[in-house]
Amino acid sequence: MAGTNAQALELNEIIAGLSPTTMALLSRKGKAIYYPRRGILAQGAAAKDKAINATIGTAYGDDGKPMVLPSLAKRLNVDPSLAFPYAPSEGSKPLREKWQELIRQKNPSLGQQAISLPIVSCGVTHGLSLAGYLFLDEGDEIILPDLYWENYDLVFGNACGAEFTFFRLFQGDDFDIDSFTAALLNRLPKKKVVLLNFPNNPSGYAPTVEVAGKIVAALKKSAEQGNRIAVILDDSYFGLFFEAGLCQESLFSWLAGLHENILAIKLDGITKEEYAWGLRVGFISYATKNGTRKLYQALEDKTAGAVRGSISNACHPSQSLFLEALKSAGYRDEKAHNKRSIEIRFNRVRQTLADHPEYKRYFESLPFNSGYFMCLKLFDVSAPKVWQRLLDHYSTGVISYDEGNLFRVAFASTPLAKIELLFDHIYRACQDCAGDHTS
Ligand SMILES: Cc1ncc(COP(=O)(O)O)c(C=O)c1O
């Protein structure tokens, strides 16, 4: 490639040699990006322990400590040296190692499969943007469910120029494996980018172990047909599983060593998993069959280069705070407590729907078993009209989707005591809009 930086060419050579699939999947920008080890960063690193270090763009006091404002520093219960200087573009090394260890703990089926060290992003959204930057060219197809997080439009549509191909998420009460399989097959093998998000936003659906097995089998079949597939896994709501029999691991576990033609790209973070929405710490991790440290290092370098060229590095205090929190005695119990609170609300939603068969006159739930949300399919009334009525007459807000005439209800954000009332309001607003007050 004429004009491509020599450091990018070196990374490309490594990647092409060790994983032709990954090379074929990289976008033009992905092929061109590199982590600039030889410029300012290298010279800064070379001067790190020298008597005089006049290299870096961080002000230090005469005592050698970061020149912070005490009125700001005193508000952070963390060593200023772990908060005020820049974090590395790839993220704090101890945090990356810890998150990798946690991925392994939470996904035991990974076994001995080598995976990359996670690169830290500024929240999961930024991780998704990085995946788009590295693997999607203008006009590339991205295959995703017809129920998806709205922001994918901006991340993959507006920013990358990707073309969306939807598969139907549901057929009756379960995952539409036929629609998914059909989207993966084509006459001639080609590059494919697939995006899966379980637990799903907006539906609150996650597959059972059995269905997860079918999804993985469909991807394997497509890979065996010669398709080269980047599977982007948006695991934002990982861990919030509320029903027996669900696949409690990320599909990353199963895809990591599945086939040389599959590159699994896991996006996760502390946003929902660790109840830290505004701290903005996400991670991007890679795995492919026979992936080696050398391959992953090259991919990590490219990803860190894309971080360097966009946000430079993610928020340092947030990374340090989370790492410290992991060491606290109460951490596990606190996390279990929050999950339990959401699960109790989930159960209350289920119970409320079961207690009110009359609701079926106007709405029914789509399958839901996990995450933050559930969806209602409205009949004989228009979702936008009912939505307006709910706001105006019942002081109640939900998300309305014209497409499919759906409501998304966030039980994770609704106090337990208001859940029955919420559904009562939805029912009444439907009655109002239908002009139907017989029941
Ligand atoms: C499916 C999904 N992915 C990603 C995100 C964004 O996560 P973050 O806030 O970490 O950027 C959200 C947030 O609502 C989401 O629902």
- What would the pLDDT profile of 323-361 be if each residue is shown by its tens digit? 999 999 999 999 999 999 999 999 999 999 999 999 999
Confidence check: pLDDT of 437 > 80: no
Q: Is the CB of 236 under 6 A from ligand 1?
A: yes
Bridge pairing between strands 262-269 and 228-234: parallel
Q: Tokens 């970061």 — which residue?
A: 66
Alpha-carbon span 96 to 118, nearest angstrom = 6
State yes or no: cis peptide before 202, omega within 30 of 0. Answer: yes
Nearest to 373 by CA among 150, 210, 213: 150
- What pLDDT sits at residue 297? 98
Which atom of ligand 1 lies at the shortest distance from residue 234's CA? 3
Alpha-carbon span 410 to 375, nearest angstrom = 9
**Closest C-alpha to ligand 1, atom 16:** 201
The pLDDT of 153-179, averaged and rounded, is: 97
Q: Is the CB of 22 under 6 A from ligand 1?
A: no
For ligand 1, the distance from its centroid to the CA atom of residue 361, given in whole angstroms, is 33
Using an 8 Å Cβ cutoff, are 133 and 305 in contact? no
Mark out the alpha helices in 136-283 (DSSP H runs): 152, 177-184, 209-224, 251-255, 270-273
- What pLDDT sits at residue 431? 96
The pLDDT of 412-425, averaged and rounded, is: 98
Question: Which residues on neighbouring strands pair with residue 268, listed in sequence order?
Answer: 283
CA separation, residue 293 to residues 225, 312, 329 (Å): 27, 24, 33
Alpha-carbon span 317 to 85, nearest angstrom = 9
The model's pTM is 0.96
**Residues above pLDDT 70, as percent of the chain:** 99
- What would the pLDDT profile of 275-310 be if each residue is shown by its tens digit? 999 999 999 999 999 999 999 999 999 999 999 999
The pLDDT of 144-154, averaged and rounded, is: 98
Q: Write down the mean pLDDT value for the chain.
A: 95
- What pLDDT sits at residue 439? 46
pLDDT band at 41 (very low <50, low <70, confident <90, very high): confident
Identify residue 334 by its one-letter amino acid code: E
Question: Which residues on neighbouring strands pair with residue 407, listed in sequence order?
Answer: 376, 400
Confidence check: pLDDT of 2 > 70: no
- What pLDDT sits at residue 245? 96
Q: Which of 271, 284, 408 to mutate to test the pocket of ligand 1 (most atoms within 8 A of CB)?
A: 271
Using an 8 Å Cβ cutoff, are 389 and 432 in contact? yes
Question: Which residues on neighbouring strands pair with residue 283, listed in sequence order?
Answer: 120, 268
Nearest to 162 by CA among 148, 176, 180, 177: 148
- What pLDDT sits at residue 411? 98
